[in-house]
Amino acid sequence: INNYPILGELANNSLWTEKEDEVCYVGGITKIRGIKEVIEAMGKKKNIKLNLVGTFNEENVKKEVERYSGWKNVNEYGLLERKEVSDIMSKSKAGIVTFLPLPNHIDAQPNKMFEYMSAGLPIITSNFPFWKEIVMGNNCGICINPLDSTEIADAIEYVINNPDKAEKMGRNGEQAVLKKYNWDVEENKLFKVYDELTK
């Protein structure tokens, strides 16, 4: 049973032309989730902002990235309510989930990836085979080496500079969530398991 998004919770009707030149990262902020590389990437491109939602779990990591040149391009929001998260996603042009290549990440399905998709955002993700299968299979984002801040920066710039393609990737992801990566589908699977166990 997968922890996929609830249909409609993060959906929005914002026009692509009304979005800012911003991308977002939502969730727990740690070294192994690639925050250093993401902030480094933000220092390589001008006039693009990162909407950072969540709390740092490692104070030393926060102090380190605050010294990076890319930190000046960060809008730090801290912990937000779900409606506020939806508002941040609605004004962003991509969602970032670039976890580092550790055993518990490579074969995982991060819920945040599907939440970005449900909000109609193209996703910039780590190039793990399992993740690539989802992203490339649904043409809903860009897979990069999470250890390479230049690749991250280039992917962000591509999304910003190619609005038609970015919007199409976002819509593709949204449709994939509507069809298969949602809690309604998983709930039915869960009920079937309960039925089998109670027979």
Please write the tens of the pLDDT for every residue from 27-85. 999 999 999 999 999 999 989 999 999 999 999 999 999 999 999 999 999 999 989 99
Length of the chain: 199
Ramachandran angles phi, psi of 53, nearest 5° = -120, 125
Structure-block tokens of residue 90:
């609605």
pTM: 0.87
Separation CA 126–CA 33 (nearest Å): 10
Residues 139, 122: Cα–Cα separation, whole Å:
9
74 contacts: CB under 8 Å, gap ≥ 6: 39, 42, 49, 50, 52
